[in-house]
Structure 1
Amino acid sequence: MPEPQVTVNGQPRALAGTPVHTNALDFLRGLGLTGAKEGCAEGECGACAVLVARPDGTGSRWTPVNACLVPAAALDGQEVLTAEGLGSPADLHPVQAELAVRGGSQCGYCTPGFVCSMAAEYYRPGREPRPDGFDLHAIGGNLCRCTGYRPIRDAALALGTPAPDDVLAERCSHPAPAPVATRLPGFARPRDLAEALALLAEHPDATVVAGSTDWGVEANLRGRRASYVVAVDRVPELRVLATDGDVEIGAALTLSEVEVALGDTVPLLAQVWPQFASRLVRNSATIGGNLATASPIGDLAPALLALEATLVLASAEGDREVPLADFFTGYRETVLRPGELLRSVRVPMPPAPLATFRKVAKRRLDDISSVAVGAALEVADGTVVRARIGLGGVAATPLRARATEAALEGRPWSAETVEEAATVLAAEGTPIDDQRASAAYRSAMLGNALRAWWAESAEREVVR
């Protein structure tokens, strides 16, 4: 097995001797590449953003990720670009040049992260030239503490398209590095599912990571250390996506990959993606990781509960299927057995025609939810024939609002029914007081989510 290494700004860099808990940010800064900074250490500010070459059809795509969360060992065999690799003071990259001439760099702390996120959008396949071709959500995960957003926005919208001789654009026409098996002290990336299960049998206390957007926070802010890490982000059996019949989503697919691949196939999930953290986080976070961490405030669970999703769990004995509604057993606890992995998520098709995802948080975007509601209804001749509602943030686990579902089914889809059901919904779960919201507020927001959905659907009917 070749020595673990990562290509950084075109130069191979050895990973041997890197402690397993070292994140990519600290590794890169240790190489003298100090443009990327640690701001929040939990993936909310983007000061640490770097670019990784990821597969995109037959070519590749420069994808920005939060280096503070990615284990350095997980970069084995991959290709990374930092702000230093994009340009130099004597030869600025177009993104760097626009930021400079438009005053987009003030204290400069956040600038390299903005540069990387903007460069990823600059090289996005199919992007149209200025001004409307730049998707400003591409920098939604980057925080400027000097509040200099106007010149940053101006710089982004002023960008043209890459020049014909742009070597970084030309790089995208070639495949991304193929997955490699990795072995470092305390860290392993298996070649396939069988090897992953064998590693879990050999190391029963191992921590499984994919995008590491949850474990990275634990390691950075709480000093958590794993006895052994098994990285499943490149396991091929966990990266399938099938839409012939029911939708099946591999557990190791990133949310950005699922978002692009599904499009509007599952409209309820299409509503979730823009409200799920930032694109920087979605580029690493996986659908399996979001569920397996069993957070009661995870955004995907309420929507998938409303969609009646089923999970496929893999072990050495074979696969078994578990309804998502039966997966969570307690706070941060699931039915996963020792040596078992979440393989995929299955969503029955066709989805209910009337669906919504409501998230209440202190910020409109890129924030942890206080309350989240996913709902899907089938209405025939004005009567609710099927209702499924998933809730997050109101109990120790995500849960189905079964009493509210019963209050809706068999009743007219009307303001009166909604008002009665909203009262029932407000009493679901066991909300608590914490730093994000009070129990009373959470209960009120549950009922209001249903009322707001009804008001919007009624307004659409009037407009039509």
Structure 2
Amino acid sequence: MDRLRFYLNDRLVEESGLSPTTTVLRYLRDRAHLTGTKEGCAEGDCGACTVAVLEHDGKGGQVLRAINSCLLLLPMVQGKRVYTVESLKESGRYHLVQESLARSLGSQCGYCTPGVTMALLEACHRKDLDEAWKLDAQMCGNLCRCTGYRPIREATQEVAGRAPSDRFARALAETKPEPMELSYEAGPQRFFTPATLSALWDVLDANPDARFVVGGTDLSLEVTKRFAEPPLLVSLEALRELRTLEPRSGGHRIGSGVWLTELEDYSCGKLPPLERMIRYFGARQIKNRATVGGNLCTASPIGDLAPVLIALGAQAVLLSRAGERRMPLDEFFVSYRRTALQRGEILGFVDLPAQPSGARSIAYKVSKRRELDISSVSAGFRVVVDVAGQVTEARLAYGGMAARPARARKTEEALVGKPWTEASVEAALPRLEEDFTPLKDHRGSAWYRAQVAKNLLRGFFEETLTDPSPRLQERHAATVQVR
């Protein structure tokens, strides 16, 4: 298919000749003349560009998601329904979310209001806003510099889960997902979205240097900030196999194409360390597009998923036309921004094994802001303690301490065979200086990172004294909760 086909405010749109790196935001403002959607940061931080997208949920149905349109490339909405703030008013009446925001006095200058309203729309049609923190998490990706957040939060409380019989409810109930498969060319640029693994291998055989994209929350920054025009992109979003998320052999299989919002929901009650890390991974709009594979395959030294998954003993499952190969996830990261992926391979799944008896595990993220920020230091820890109180296994993984996510192997060695006590932890801490020589940058000095790394291990010991894998409390100041 050489034409882009999607629905914009329930109207079928077909386009050709547009660069595949055109963002949905630029398309809306420059070509569709729907200027209610605003541009603020163009990097997914402010939420002014938020739209709602009705898209595949990976199970044969559809779900309404708030998305940053500045990070969404136009081919990514192939076969989907995109809604802007202009779609809310229906038959001359304002939508519930608009009325609620106005009644709460949640808008002053109004620049952020369209994005706030579209984030509220997702809240309106969510069925899982059953804890107070979820309301904050729903809206933390929308900045407001004049109204203040109390009235916006009041509007969120009023509309959450109301699910009125509006055009969005009808679309959810009555429309069926359309194919995302795409072969698109515009000038020197090409964009493929294969629908099967077999079709993917064919594309890669013909284009071995193709660059992969799924959610686009990282790659799109190159477009919006560096004005990059990648000549060939291959989207893995239509591969349903990669959306697998299920218990397996006492552990869990996590597909590389799973959205982080899906993983967050799945982890609740099953994988507390992972749930804990994803809470502060990013804003709702980011997690609605960011994927497990995208976060891991960028191989960033401060990627938030890697340390906790490494600590839990994850295996990377790589797929190619030749079949499957597996490796420990900590071996998947080769060096700075490089992985063990070879030409023609993709990351298919992350397999988490059953956690051993006596395991204590946790994840931490330390950043300048609590929400929507990049880690200065992150960590995933697991120790196994036997009935005699001795450490039989230790897995201590850190992000932000080296050129890649890595285990503190010398510190692990210092803990294994010792009693799990404060004295043993303190005795092992100097070994962290042998494991890592952290760099200095604008997020923290080398001294700061080294000290934080030690303090997180101290906090892990204290926090797991009464609960081997504690969830975050309802009201907390950080992912560290030592009292």
Q: Fold match, TM over 0.5? A: yes
Native 8 Å contact 1:5 1:16 kept in 2: no
List alignment gaps of at least 5 residues for structure 1.
none
Render the CA deviation track for 1:173-221: whole Å, top value 9, x for unaligned. Answer: 3455133311211111001112112212212222100000110111111
Please, what is the CA RMSD of the aligned residues? 2.2
Output the amino acid matched with 1:339.
Answer: G
Q: Distance in 2 between matches of 1:71 and 1:163?
A: 29
Native 8 Å contact 1:426 1:447 kept in 2: no
Task: Indicate the SS of the match to 1:216.
Answer: helix
Aligned position for 2:306: 301
Q: Distance in 2 between matches of 1:163 and 1:179?
A: 26
Render the CA deviation track for 1:87-135: whole Å, top value 9, x for unaligned. Answer: 279421111111112221121111111111111011113557xx96972
Range with bigger deviation, 50-59 or 23-32: 50-59
Distance apart, 1:350 and its partner CA: 2.7
1:217-296 paired onto structure 2 within 5 Å: 217-245=221-249, 246-296=251-301
Output the amino acid matched with 2:100.
Answer: E
Instruction: Select the residue among 355, 370, 376 that pairs with 2:376.
Output: 370
Aligned position for 1:181: 181
Aligned position for 2:41: 40
Aligned position for 1:383: 390
Instruction: Select the residue among 335, 358, 364 that pairs with 2:364.
Output: 358
Range with bigger deviation, 113-122 or 415-424: 415-424
TM-score, normalised via structure 2 length: 0.90
Aligned position for 1:152: 152
Q: Distance in 1 between matches of 2:163 and 2:287?
A: 29
Render the CA deviation track for 1:45-67: whole Å, top value 9, x for unaligned. Answer: 11111111134566532111111
Instruction: Select the residue among 99, 102, 105 that pairs with 1:100.
Output: 102
Aligned position for 2:205: 201
Output the amino acid matched with 1:21.
Answer: T
Q: Does 1:335 align with 2:340?
A: yes
Distance apart, 1:456 and its partner CA: 2.4
Task: Indicate the SS of the match to 1:338.
Answer: coil
Q: Does 1:430 align with 2:434?
A: no
Range with bigger deviation, 170-179 or 79-88: 170-179
Native 8 Å contact 2:282 2:372 kept in 1: yes
Instruction: Select the residue among 174, 196, 219 that pairs with 1:215.
Output: 219
Q: Does 1:190 align with 2:187?
A: no
Indicate how the Cα distance of structure 1 residues 170 and 377 shifts in structure 2: closer, same or farther if over 3 A, else same: same
Native 8 Å contact 2:210 2:234 kept in 1: yes
Output the amino acid matched with 2:257.
Answer: A
Distance apart, 1:242 and its partner CA: 2.8
Native 8 Å contact 2:6 2:12 kept in 1: yes
Q: Distance in 2 between matches of 1:210 and 1:286?
A: 7
Distance apart, 1:251 and its partner CA: 0.7
Distance apart, 1:164 and its partner CA: 5.6
Output the amino acid matched with 2:139.
Answer: I
Distance apart, 1:2 and its partner CA: 7.7
Aligned position for 2:331: 326
Task: Indicate the SS of the match to 2:443.
Answer: coil
Output the amino acid matched with 2:246.
Answer: A
Q: Distance in 1 between matches of 2:274 and 2:369?
A: 20
Task: Indicate the SS of the match to 1:41.
Answer: coil
Q: Distance in 2 between matches of 1:172 and 1:426?
A: 54
Native 8 Å contact 1:61 1:124 kept in 2: no
Indicate how the Cα distance of structure 1 residues 16 and 351 shifts in structure 2: closer, same or farther if over 3 A, else same: farther
Q: Distance in 2 between matches of 1:298 and 1:382?
A: 33
Task: Indicate the SS of the match to 1:68.
Answer: helix
Range with bigger deviation, 184-193 or 56-65: 56-65
Task: Indicate the SS of the match to 2:362.
Answer: strand
Q: What percent identity do the matched residue pairs reach?
A: 40
Render the CA deviation track for 1:438-460: whole Å, top value 9, x for unaligned. Answer: 11100000000011122223466
TM-score, normalised via structure 1 length: 0.94
Native 8 Å contact 1:358 1:372 kept in 2: yes
Render the CA deviation track for 1:346-399: whole Å, top value 9, x for unaligned. Answer: 111136731111111000121100111100111112111111111100111110
Q: Does 1:448 align with 2:452?
A: no
Range with bigger deviation, 313-322 or 439-448: 313-322
Native 8 Å contact 2:100 2:158 kept in 1: yes
Output the amino acid matched with 1:43.
Answer: G
Q: Distance in 2 between matches of 1:242 and 1:132?
A: 27
Output the amino acid matched with 1:51.
Answer: A
Task: Indicate the SS of the match to 1:243.
Answer: strand
Indicate how the Cα distance of structure 1 residues 420 and 144 shifts in structure 2: closer, same or farther if over 3 A, else same: same
Q: Does 1:168 align with 2:168?
A: yes
Distance apart, 1:272 and its partner CA: 1.3
Q: Distance in 1 between matches of 2:161 and 2:77?
A: 29
Distance apart, 1:305 and its partner CA: 1.0
- How many equivalent residue pairs? 460
Q: Distance in 2 between matches of 1:188 and 1:456?
A: 47
Native 8 Å contact 1:122 1:134 kept in 2: no
Native 8 Å contact 1:4 1:183 kept in 2: no
Q: Distance in 1 between matches of 2:408 and 2:174?
A: 48
Native 8 Å contact 1:104 1:155 kept in 2: yes
Range with bigger deviation, 143-152 or 322-331: 143-152
Aligned position for 1:142: 142
Distance apart, 1:3 and its partner CA: 3.7
Q: Distance in 1 between matches of 2:132 and 2:432?
A: 42
Output the amino acid matched with 1:359.
Answer: K
Native 8 Å contact 1:64 1:283 kept in 2: yes
- Structure 1: which 4+ aligned runs deviate by more than 3 Å? 55-59, 131-134, 160-165, 458-461
Task: Indicate the SS of the match to 1:294.
Answer: coil
Output the amino acid matched with 2:378.
Answer: A
Q: Does 1:124 align with 2:133?
A: no
Output the amino acid matched with 1:46.
Answer: G
